[in-house]
Amino acid sequence: MSESLVILDPTDERAPLGRRPASRPDRLHGTLGIIDIAKPRGDIFCDEIERLLHDRFPQLDVIRLQKPTYTKPAPGDLRDEVGERCQAVIQALAD
Amino acid sequence: MSDFPIAGADAPAFALRDRNGTPLAFGDGESSAPATLLFFFKHDCATCDLTAPLVERLHGALAAEGLRVVGVSQDAPAQTTGFVDRHELSFAVALDTALEVSAEYGFDAVPALVLAGDPRQVLFSFEGFVKRDLLELTRLAAQACGAATPEIVRDEDQLPEHQPGCGSKVHDPDVARRLAVRRGAATLGARRVRIPIDDDPFEFMAAQGLDDGLPVVPPTEERVLRMLQGTMRPASAVVAHIPPNLAPATVEKIAVNAVMAGCRPEYLPVVIAATEAACTDAFNLHGVLATTYFATPVIVVNGPIRHEIGLNCGGNLFGQGFRANATIGRALQLLVRNVGGGRPGGVDMSTLGQPGKFTCCVGENEEESGWEPLHVERGFGRNTSTVTLFAGEAPRAIRDQLSRTARSLGASVGLCLEAMAHPKLHRMGEVLLVVSPEHARTFARDGYSKTDLRARIQEVTARPLRELLPDDECQKGMALSAIPRELLGSDGRPTPDALDTPLAKFKRDEDILIIVGGGTAGKFSAVLGGWASGTTGSIAVTREIRNERSSSA
Amino acid sequence: MHDLVDYEARGIPSVLVASSEFVHAAQTQAEALGMPDLAAGSVFVPHPIQDATDEEMRMKAQDAIDAIVEALTANG
């Protein structure tokens, strides 16, 4: 594995540098995607998560997406679909 | 010079691992051995091959008496195994593949043997193979263990009295450099930012807003340490507080931004001096940055450093193609952006900006000038190197290929300067006039001094006040506040007599800063207009570039 | 983790659910990808997975759901 490059911060260091995770909403809304990474038994876990979300957040739209293989990053079209449709993502179940 | 610890010194403790990944430490207080022998070796060293069987014999003779023998290999596991198998070594062998322990012990050659008593005091040490030393080490090891001195050396060995060792791998050029980075990096205080492995470093830095729109060089520890070789000032020293946030600019932060700008280490003292000059009250960088006008720091370099660092003073003076010019000016701009927090759309409110806001740094062509150079006029010795910071507009042309006398050429310069900002704006502040070598020769031929040229500019630009006031034809004109008080009546308006009083373009002759610069062919000069002058505006500032380069640079 | 960094960069809150064997790997990868906080927000369910019964899998989901919702929202 190639090493990632480390640089010295050229700023006054008042603000953080680097990638920041997305800001979180106060509550789940819109469409939530459950992405099954296609490992054995992950589907049962995802089914149960979906059921629990329906129970708790009846207005939440839960959709299921399937990653072709867990061994590689998701293909661009899956990422784009997530980008277009989802307001939140659960990716499961890495083992 | 070797730092190899001699008898009486402390042997540095270490925590390494053996070939199985099992921790193998020395000096952590875990071992109760009365003495420890450290045997540093590398696999492709004949002297190590000569020594290894003797160390093995010593181990065989004194292990039961409490002597702990630890081999320290400078090689990777596979090569280490080759060496261990070849000599059938039965003592523990630690891997020092990173060579940090070897570096700390400071020996120049392998094998290096260190006999340490309890806890870590060195009893004896030597490098290479020296039979007499090996016998002495054996005697001391036995003594420390309270045992009789074993016979380690046999006649049939036919050992030489002395055989030089091989160079410690620590001294391999790229290893030495890597170790120096690792040691030096510890002295750097800036926050470390890890660029994600799937990101292009240039894209990452651009996405983080650290650039000026052009790619920047990633400021790695190694590059920043190399940059710091350009100065003897400590990295943590605060040079200035950079507007608008007035954040402290340490030598290190300046070096980081200089790396990003593409500077070479020998440019760093110029960047430091320019930062100092820019952050003075007189220069008023905050105002220069915040104005909607065109002003930006224009760096003029004088003195011997121009040639030492290859700073262009000649053809294409304000143009591309010269690393020192391009990167010194850029470094200052990046410092304002990254350390000071001044960015376009933020504090930088410039309406149109100008290309010089990427970079603007020029050298005076002192060699083509018949006049005293700028820094000498401003009180510095000719052999002193300086930066002068001027808050200027972009250069614009002064074209005169016909004048054969200084007086005529002076008139051309003046007439061109009159249009600066607006022809009706007179009694203005500082301006930077860049006289080309060909024009400089015309002035020199007639013995025209800078004082003469300034006076000529003022003479040809003088206009009656009435022509300078706002009128129906052109509503722009001199503000009442710019008109001398003695020309104003009790109603605050110009008196009728005053309307005929001629007023020159510049308030004071000395506000016309003059340098010689550019290529030797071309009867063109240039002018860089200023910004608001005086205490509320910006006043040009000259600072010495201290001869502070480290001799090791 | 690559995918999640991409989703986060698109402004979509994401959570990785992994077995407890993945704690270290997730941390290392999130750091290498420049979003160390993402590992802190990951949800880990007890190993093992592959030989768990359906009922055990559903139990793991029930135990994890609170943490998952918390990881995707500001106030949990």
Q: Quick one: fold of B14-183?
A: Glutaredoxin (3.40.30)
Q: What is the mean pLDDT of chain A?
A: 87
- Show the low-confidence residues of chain B (pLDDT under 50): 1, 549-553
**Domain edges within chain C:** 2-72
Most A CBs within 10 Å, among B193, B203, B275, to test the A interface: B193
pLDDT over 80 (residue A3)? no
| Domain presence at residue A24 | no
Please compute the mean of the pLDDT values over residues C67-76 and round it to a whole number: 86
Q: What is the mean pLDDT of chain C?
A: 87
Where does the pLDDT of residue C51 fall: very low under 50, low under 70, confident under 90, or very high at 90 and above? confident
Rounded-to-integer distance, Cα B189 and Cα B255, Å: 12
**Domain edges within chain B:** 14-183, 197-364
What domain count does chain A have? Answer: 1
**Radius of gyration for chain A, computed over Cα atoms and rounded to the nearest angstrom:** 17
Give the residue numbers in A contacting C (CB under 8 Å), as ranges: 4, 18-28, 32, 35, 39-42, 44-45, 48-49, 52-53, 56, 67, 73-74, 79, 82-83, 86-95
In this complex, the residue of A20, A89, A93 whose CB is nearest that of residue C12 is A89
Q: Which of A38, A67, A33 lies closest to A53 in space, CA to CA?
A: A33
In this complex, the residue of C5, C34, C35 whose CB is nearest that of residue B195 is C34
For chain A, the straight-line distance linking the first and the last C-alpha, in angstroms and rounded, comes to 21
C2-33: pLDDT as tens digits: 888 889 888 999 999 998 888 888 888 887 77
Is B515:B416 a contact under the CB 8 Å cutoff? no
B293-306: pLDDT as tens digits: 999 999 999 999 99
Q: Looking at this predicted complex, what is its ipTM?
A: 0.90
| Domain presence at residue A15 | no
B186-198: pLDDT as tens digits: 889 999 998 887 7
Rounded-to-integer distance, Cα B192 and Cα B186, Å: 11
**Radius of gyration for chain B, computed over Cα atoms and rounded to the nearest angstrom:** 35
pLDDT over 70 (residue C76)? no
Q: Which domain holds residue A49?
A: 31-92
Q: How many helices (H) and strands (E) does chain B have?
A: 17, 24
A 26-55 → B contacts, CB under 8 A: none
| Sequence letter at residue B537 | G
Where does the pLDDT of residue A16 fall: very low under 50, low under 70, confident under 90, or very high at 90 and above? confident
- Using a CB-CB cut-off of 8 Å, the residues of chain A touching B248 are 12
A17-73: pLDDT as tens digits: 877 888 899 999 999 999 998 888 889 999 999 999 999 999 999 999 888 777 777
Cβ–Cβ gap A8/B193 under 8 Å: yes
Where does the pLDDT of residue C75 fall: very low under 50, low under 70, confident under 90, or very high at 90 and above? low
